Amino acid sequence: QVQVVESGGGLVQPGGSLRLSCQASGSTFSTYHLRWYRQAPGKERELVAAITSAGGITNYAGSVKGRFTISRDNAKNTVYLQMNSLKAEDTAVYYCNARLGWGDFWGQGTQVTVSS
């Protein structure tokens, strides 16, 4: 049983930045693969970014590549999503997913709203 908690969402103007954080419990955090997803009303949930346990390999959706950066701090059991140059179409609920060899755990989501 892994607990996953996101934070850092909020309201930001177009062109602005936000940094989302996700803390996942467990003594084996360093082995987790971590992903950020997002879902806007009426749309399917989509993968935004992913990072391997070692942090050496990252992957991004084409719509966010060059603007978003995923990173992790294993000492703090935390994964981050730095979001820059935000656009209105980035508005969504953002979810953190921890993928283990034996399980798949989700946070409750944090709302990101990009609006002037």
Distance in angstroms (rounded) separating the CA atoms of residues 6 and 111: 10
Average pLDDT over residues 84-88: 98
Residue 104 corresponds to which amino acid?
D
pLDDT tens-digit readout, 33-75: 999 999 999 999 999 999 998 878 999 999 999 999 999 999 9
H/E segment holding residue 44: none
At 7 the pLDDT is 97
